[in-house]
Structure 1
Amino acid sequence: MVLDLFMAITFVLLMNPRVFNGLPFHEMAGLVIAVAILIHIGLNYRWVVNTTKKIFALELPRKTRFSFLLNILLLISMTTVIVSGILISRVVFPNLAIEGNHFVRGIHDLSANMTLALVGLHIGVHWQWIMSTCKKAFKSKEGKWRKGVIASAVLSLAVLAGGMYWISLNVKPSEGDFKPKFAEQNAPSFDEETTGTMPTPPDGEIRDGKFRKERGSNNPLLALLTYFVIWAAVIIPTYYLEKRMLKNKRAKEASV
């Protein structure tokens, strides 16, 4: 649950490349979430292997089969996001960046939006499990609330929110520390300075030796609120649709 929550928050922050110090955070956090995905798969390795073996078995529940296929789509879309992100990297892997990468950038944006929708669907399908796990975490077997656990969770969220707000106010973009390779290659020469002409940065990523300033808010809390609302628009209908399907299934079994 902790890993999943971490991945959800990180992924949402990655949806807005302006948060914190911009591109350096965006690319390095992308690598961190890639490692987190591998850990997530490793923790669920047995379920993956067992479900793969039984994927065509008639006794396998439809929900399990749907969840497995959904996870495959998530893996494909997330892999596409990571690989395309490396191919348009301006900070971590500038040597691997493809010139004239408008097509790759389009794939990166499209796969990121698809992943956002698939993650929302994934959470909606497993919402009952999430609530059950949270109930076990915050309630004892006797049904009493674990005040210490609740206080720790609230304090952790408060520290996280306060820390992100402080960083958004005090951490400035550090483009100079992560100067892309093509920015150095396109540095003005003596002839360019005398003629007044400057080479055009690829994709308009960098202007005057700095990362392009995009419009919009760079507040991480606003980014979290925005994309969690989008997730809610996917999670809530998915949850109630699954609940109704389960109710109809039970009614059908009872009538038989």
Structure 2
Amino acid sequence: MKKNYTKIVLDLMMAITFVLLMNPRVLNGLPFHEIAGVIIGVAILFHIGLNFRWVITTTKKIFDPKLPKKTRFSFLLNILLLISMATVIVTGILISRVVFPSLAIQGGHSIRGIHGLSADATLALVGLHIGVHWQWIMSICKRAFKSKEGKLRKGVLASVILSLAILAGGIQWFASTATTSMGDFNKAPIQQNSQSSTNGGTGTINQNPPNGDFQGEKFEHDGRGGKEGHGGSSSPFLVVLNYFAIWAAIIIPTYYLEKRILRKRRKSNDLHPKVS
């Protein structure tokens, strides 16, 4: 039970962080985008570790005709999700400007495009993944937050609220510190450009950063470009609300479609019972 509770809390925090990463403008751009991307990469490895036994067992039985179709579909969905997420991480490293600048590929516009497309694919696959497991999620939440007598477990609820508060506090702290640190990123290109203009004999100072510097890459890091980024707003609350609404549009039909398929299967089994 504790393991399932850890999964729910970890997945919720990963979901919030992931949707914040979908907009490269949120929380002052690249510093948060890249550092949070590294953190969520580590969280994904931890998530796989928590489900390692299921992964091994299902891999061994993947070609077994007795394996339930839902389990096989879930396994294949997880493989696709792992591939898309790995693509996001690898391409993110190759266009990094803050965390891995030495590994960045200059002028990697095609890589930025792949980064953006794989991020959108991951968003859709995560929504499908949640929809397929929605019944299990609700079952775990009910057992986690309610006792056998039907009473609300205040301690569990308080710990979840505390976890989310720590996450929100960490994001707010990062936003305030990144505002100060961003000045250091922007000063260097301006000073360098000023010196080059002066040495050229013009005596004028060009205040526009050169192409490809930190400021120029800030809103184009994921290949989507645009002044407003993908989410249309840099407010963390609005970004989370926007992408959770997108997930809801995927989760709800997936959940009801699965229910309908299971209902038809039960009716078919009742009409044509298996002979032992």
Whether TM exceeds 0.5 here: the answer is yes
Distance 1:91 1:168, change over 3 A: closer
Shift of 1:162: 7.2
| Alpha-carbon contact 2:24-2:218 (below 8 Å) kept | no
Match of 1:18 in 2: 25
Q: Which amino acid aligns with 2:263?
A: K
Shift of 1:150: 3.3
Tell me if 1:75 matches 2:78: no
Other structure's SS at 2:97 match: coil
Other structure's SS at 1:16 match: coil
Other structure's SS at 1:206 match: helix
Match of 1:255 in 2: 271
Q: Which amino acid aligns with 1:42?
A: G
Cα displacement string for residues 105-140 of structure 1 (whole angstroms, at most 9, x for unaligned residues): 000000000000000000000000000000001111
Give the stretch that moved more between structures: 92-101 or 235-244: 92-101
Match of 1:191 in 2: 199
Tell me if 1:206 matches 2:215: yes
**What is the TM-score normalised by the length of structure 2?**
0.81
Distance 1:177 1:156, change over 3 A: same
Q: Describe how 1:165-176 pairs up with structure 2 within 5 A.
A: 172=179, 174-176=181-183
Match of 1:36 in 2: 43
Equivalent residues, number: 253
- Gap regions ≥5 residues in structure 2: 1-7, 221-226
Match of 1:9 in 2: 16
Aligned match for 1:105, one of 78, 102, 112:
112
Q: Which amino acid aligns with 2:50?
A: L
Shift of 1:22: 1.5
Tell me if 1:232 matches 2:248: yes
| Alpha-carbon contact 2:25-2:219 (below 8 Å) kept | no
Tell me if 1:84 matches 2:91: yes
- Gap regions ≥5 residues in structure 1: none
**What is the TM-score normalised by the length of structure 1?**
0.86
Aligned match for 1:59, one of 66, 75, 80:
66
When the two chains are superposed, the root-mean-square deviation of aligned CA atoms in Å is 3.0
